[in-house]
Structure 1
Amino acid sequence: MDQLCEKCMKLLQDFVSLVKRMTSSLLQNIKEYLILISECSCVKQKSSEARQLHRPILQPHEKETAREFLQHIETGFRMSPFGKDSLEALRTLAFSENAGLQQSAALYYLQMSQHWNIQLPAEHLEAYCGLLQSSDMEVQQMSSLSLVHFLRKGNINKELVVQMGLPEPILELLESGDSSVQCNSCACIKALAVSESNQKAIGSAGIIPLLALANSYDPRVQQNAVGAILNLTQSERIQEVLCREGALPILILLLESPDSEVQYYSCTALSNVAANVQHHEAMLRVGDRLLLRTLISLLSSSVDKVSSQACVCLRNLSTNVNIQAEIIAMDILPKLLSLLASNNSDVQHASVTLLWSLSQHPANQEALVRREVLQNLGMLLLTHQKDPRIVNHAAYILKNLSLCKNVQRIIESPCMEGLFQAILSTEIQEESLHYLMGSLAELAKHDSATLHLLEWMNGPLIKCLLRLAGQQEHTEPSFQAASIVQRMMRHDKVMSLLKCHMQKVQHYLMNFLNHQEIRFQQLGISTLGKLQEDPEFSYAFNQSQLMERLEQVRQQTEETQELLKMVISHKGS
């Protein structure tokens, strides 16, 4: 280890002085404490509500260990703060029945966790087994706090913490009468419950005490308790335990907490639970749709992550068309429109995802085709071309809404410009281009949309359409692009643009004629037939293999028809 700086050495000297005073006082009063020693083994209290009235005998080896420990931290810390010598000393002090010695060890770890960014070796976790089970309140406070620091800094292996059996004493500390110990133990569970294996190891033993602490009057305890519950909700098995133990009413009521962190944690926990459809009925039964009303209210929260998470929870709940109808009936759109116009991209993403979920059912589409909604979607497409999360969902919403009767509103809205600008953008990602093309292809089925398409039809757009039509790895965008080309060929402007890319046109048509799906073959034949009406295209096609392949398709079709007639005739007889 490198030489410690002057500041760290000063902290180290202060720590040595403190431990010296503590140990000196302890040794001087051994005789006084001897008369208070109890011989009964049951005096060690599981709960730390009552303070211990005696201090046990200081064993000779403990006395020697304390002295050696002081000598070590004075002379040996420079080279090895967590070396073998200190490890043995700390183990002895941590498992001592003397509170003063345990306090020395706990204070040592606390100093390390606060002032040094040092990875705690796995061997030192054994000492925590003794410290966390101490009956001394100060030891519980210091040891649990240092463990929190190590966990939050990532200076301790969380999997090893669980393997060493530390969750058990940590869970016992949840029932401490001291709010600091409760706060620290909740924070430990919160930090540990981030992986599936750890969640399984922690199990359901802490659910009831954590739910009790979620109602704590101490805001620190409440925050960490709800945060721990949140991380545990990532486990489907623990979700079931939470629902069974009455967690839903508690979490729903915490949505109205004045503490935005508690709101966020409880809302995220409910979002995780709502991801499983089996819990929806129980969630909505609390307070007769209280959850829906509260979540919609939280959409107006001034804290972005709270309003964003409320969107996520509503989206997870909106898998059922009846629930969607209830959400829309609660006048959600004004709040949702406000979020779509937010300056926070995460809020915009959450709100556009919720709108996408609501737009999937035909019963809601008429209600969503409003000028304000379309205005916002058009702006999202124009201003967020670098964000595929927003572009993809906005395009998918337009595809869904184009199925309703009032499709003319979409065609006359800024959404059309947003679609074209996004498609022609050099910054758009390939995946987003596929979503945009799906939306444009659906709109292109309406005759009133072709005029807008014609206005935007230029060299770059034709080139983009032909590129998508010619690629074979993504079948839907290929078919959609070719469909748009086929619909627009009746306009001279489009035919002129296509003649500049004769080879690309022949390439995608050949792919379509060779395609296994009938719809591709039919679209290819239809497009080929219309293009042949133009002399330039007809001449080019006759010089290529297209006509030969077309003849093969014709023969295969005739053979198929003959086989079908034979099957039908046999069936009739």
Structure 2
Amino acid sequence: MASGFCENCSRLLKDVAVHLRRVCREFGQKISDVFRELSQCTCIRNTPDRSFPRRKTTLHLLHDHETQLLNQESLQTLSRLAASEKPDLQMTAAVYYLHLSHNLTSPLPDAFMEPILALLFSSDLDVQKTISLSLVNLLVKNNVCKELAIEMGILIPILELFQSGDPTAQCHSCACVAMLASSESNRDALMVDGIIPLLVLARSYDPPVQQSAAWALLHLTQSDWSMRILCQAGTIPVLVLLLQSSDSEVQFYSCTALCNIAAVQEHHPKLLSIGGNYLLKSLVTLMSSSVQKNSAQACRCLQNLSKNVLIQEQLMELDCVLPLKTLLKTSTPVWTKSALTLLSALSSHPPNNEALLNEGVLDVMGHLLHHHCSSSVIITHSSKIITNLSSSCMGQQAVMETQCLSGLLGALVSPALSDETLMLVTSCLHNLMTWDPLKSKLSETVTSEQVSGLVKLSEQTGNLQLSYNCAVIISKLEMTGEIIQLLRPHYITMSEYLLVFLKNKDVKFQHLGIVTIFNLKKDGDFSTLLANSELEVQLWKVHAQTEETRRLLLMIQPISPSCLNP
């Protein structure tokens, strides 16, 4: 996968960076005083290496310029401090790295990674916590090459910190694993020894530890291979249990990880093998969360699972429609789209439709069409849902009582919609107009601007099917006085596209042209325009061809249909 992060992950990493900066701020404020005192302390003189100049122990930390922070003298000093057996000297180097990680704006030179590795192997837990926090900060800011860190063997002491029993150390180590896992080339190495310790920490009762472990597991689900290993190692039950966490971030990480797993259909049996529909119940409950990002993520996970008809039926039994309707009313388009996509899948299964209609789904669709008339995704799914739900008399009546018709007509004049979306809108309108009450309702509802939009789309030759759909809608308009007034300004344009239809070799276009002309001739003005026009000449040509075809068929005495279908 690409090394870039999606919008959610970028936001999460920024949150972590803010948290780390907050943790480091106190160090940053005190660091000058601390090292000024360290430089005066006599214990520094007790280093076994007598060539170690005392003045270097300050490491020039009073300077913030990166060329001074990262010069060769600093590297030599850090290496000696890290190799010392004295915890206080090791801590000097660890705090230096903490200061460095907080202020560095350029990549850390590869040579400076060696002291970090040595400090991670320290026997002093405080040193390990400080240097691991520094490493997290460097990884978050992309100051360290993740691949190089793995090659150096940095994963070994990081994974050992899992077993330290110290919540702070475990948080730091989980964060390191999560950041290292964000590089696809590192995931294989992380899988070997990292999964079981992560699963143990995910069950921790300490919220920060649980959060860090869930975050690390999430990153490991971004590769098909590592995802498969995770599933084999028993990660799914752990992630499902984390959905019940009292921490909203843990819920989000675990739900996102499950969403990634659910996107691969081969994992569905394991996801659904937990008894009593436990996963589905947990996700439906999470959809009702007051934390909307969690609601939306649960919806996406259910959407990935809903390709199975049996699962759709189970979701309907679990009353999933109410939280979906709540999501549809949010002001965040990406969450609205998640709910619409799942509803579209549910409405494609006819046995679900009565329940969806009873829940007032079409009323919500009408509202969405009026408030998101420029969103292709929302209009696309809304059109599909309306088409699916209007297949019954109950659904057609519901369309009559909602804003669906006016919303679909309004979408026709939106300049932001693609031809593909307009195809779905016009197909939906065409389908609705096969029912006489809806045809009358549409004829009463359509506006001058919408008629102009239909005519404009009917005359385009780049997309014949879209042109056909729009012309069908026009042909079905009831020629009332109001409709005639709306159509009259467009008679010349309509004559032009009707001429194209009559010349088309496809019989359905010819038939549509004839039906439309028959309807328009109810207005004397159009009859006058038609007289002696090229359109009328072409109409007689089609008539003559049809008569010739009929005469030829009579000559050969075509086989009776009953002979073809005994």
TM category (shorter chain) comes to 0.7 to 0.9
The answer to whether structure 1 residue 27 and structure 2 residue 15 are counterparts is no
Superposition map of 1:37-52 within 5 A: none
- Spell out the pairing of 1:534-545 with structure 2 (5 A cutoff): 537=526, 539=529, 543-544=533-534
Letter of the aligned partner of 1:382 in structure 2? H
CA RMSD of aligned residues (A): 3.8
Q: Give per-residue Cα distances to partners, 1:284-329, cap 9 Å, x unaligned.
A: 1112311111222222222212222221122111111111011101
Partner of 1:258: 246
Match of 2:108 among 116, 121, 131: 121
CA distance in 2, matches of 1:471, 1:132: 69
Say if 1:125 and 1:527 are closer, same or farther in 2 by CA, change over 3 A.
Answer: farther
Contact persistence 2:409–2:446 (CA under 8 A): no
Larger CA deviation: 222-231 vs 182-191: 182-191
1:243 matched to which residue of 2? 231
Indicate if the aligned counterparts of 2:78 and 2:115 stay in contact, CA closer than 8 A. Answer: yes
**1:149-228 equivalent positions in 2, closer than 5 A:** 149-158=137-146, 161-162=149-150, 166-200=154-188, 202-228=190-216
Give the conservation status (yes or no) of the 8 Å contact 1:230–1:269. Answer: yes
* Cα distance in 2, alignment partners of residues 516 and 189 from structure 1: 65
Unaligned runs of 5+ in 1: 1-6, 31-57
Deviation at 1:334, TM superposition (A): 3.0
* 1:324 counterpart residue number: 312
Distance 1:264 1:559 in 2: 68
- Return the alpha-carbon distance in structure 1 between the equivalents of residues 123 and 141 of structure 2: 27
Indicate yes or no: 2:154 matched with 1:135.
Answer: no
* Deviation for aligned residue 1:370: 2.4
Instruction: Return the alpha-carbon distance in structure 2 between the equivalents of residues 459 and 292 of structure 1.
Output: 48
1:415 counterpart letter in structure 2: C
Which of 401, 410, 427 does residue 438 from structure 1 map onto? 427
Structure 2: unaligned runs, 5 residues or longer: 1-25
Report SS of the residue matched to 1:400. Answer: helix
Between 309-318 and 420-429, the greater mean CA deviation after superposition = 420-429
Between the aligned partners of 1:148 and 1:229, the Cα distance in structure 2 is 16
| Aligned ranges 1:478-557 → 2 under 5 Å | 478-488=467-477, 490-491=479-480, 493-509=482-498, 512=501, 519-520=508-509, 522-524=511-513, 526-527=515-516, 531=520, 537=526, 539=529, 543-544=533-534, 551=541
Please state whether the residue corresponding to 1:189 is helix, strand or coil. helix
* Change in 2 beyond 3 A, CA 1:371/1:101: closer
8 Å contact kept, 1:274–1:313: yes
Question: Hey, what's the Cα distance between the residues in 1 that align with 2:146 and 2:497?
Answer: 55
Distance 1:215 1:473, change over 3 A: farther
TM-score computed with the length of structure 1 as normaliser:
0.80
Q: Paired residue for 1:306? A: 294
* Equivalent position of 2:402 in the other structure: 413
Q: CA 1:477/1:191 → structure 2, altered by over 3 Å: closer, same or farther?
A: farther
Per-residue deviation, residues 484-520 of structure 1 (Å, max 9, x unmatched): 1122265554344333123432454455467686644
Give the count of matched residue pairs: 530
Deviation of 1:119 (Å): 2.6
Amino acid at match of 2:224: E
Once the two structures are superposed, what CA deviation does each residue of 1:403-422 show, in whole Å capped at 9, x if it has no partner? 23422222222322333344
Q: Given that residues 383 and 424 in structure 2 are in contact (C-alpha distance below 8 angstroms), is that contact kept between their aligned partners in structure 1?
A: yes
How many Å separate the matches in 1 of 2:74 and 2:159? 28
The Cα offsets for residues 161-211 of structure 1, whole Å up to 9 and x where unpaired, read as 456554454334333333222111111222333343443453453211111
Write out per-residue CA displacement over residues 342-390 of structure 1, whole angstroms, 9 at most, x where no aligned residue. 4555543332322122111122122212262222222222223354443
Give the conservation status (yes or no) of the 8 Å contact 1:204–1:241.
no
Map 1:269-308; keep pairs closer than 5 Å. 269-308=257-296
Contact 1:369 1:410 in 2 (8 A): no
What is the SS of the residue equivalent to 1:205? Answer: helix
Distance verdict in 2 for CA 1:137–1:486, change over 3 Å:
same
In the TM superposition, 1:560-571 aligns within 5 A as none
Q: Structure 1 residues 73-82 or 289-298, which shifts more?
A: 73-82
SS in 2 for 1:500: helix
Larger mean CA deviation between 349-358 and 95-104 belongs to 95-104
Instruction: Report the 3-state secondary structure (helix = DSSP H, G, I; strand = E; otherwise coil) of the residue aligned with 2:122.
Output: coil
- Cα separation, partners in 2 of 1:138 and 1:531, compared to 1, 3 Å: same
Structure 1 stretch displaced more, 476-485 or 488-497? 488-497
Cα distance in 1 for residues equivalent to 2:229 and 2:287? 29
Q: State the 1:221 CA deviation.
A: 0.8
- Report how far residue 427 of structure 1 moved: 7.1
- More displaced 10-residue stretch of structure 1: 384-393 or 272-281: 384-393
Please tell me whether the aligned partners of residues 319 and 357 of structure 1 are also in contact (alpha carbons under 8 angstroms): yes
Please point out which of 35, 52, 60 is paired with 1:16.
Answer: 35
Q: Is the 8 A contact 1:187 1:224 kept in 2?
A: yes
Q: Which amino acid aligns with 1:120?
A: P
Query: Does 1:111 pair with 2:99?
Result: yes
Question: How many angstroms does 1:333 deviate by?
Answer: 2.6
SS at match of 2:164: coil
Matched letter for residue 435 of structure 2: H
TM-score, normalised via structure 2 length = 0.81
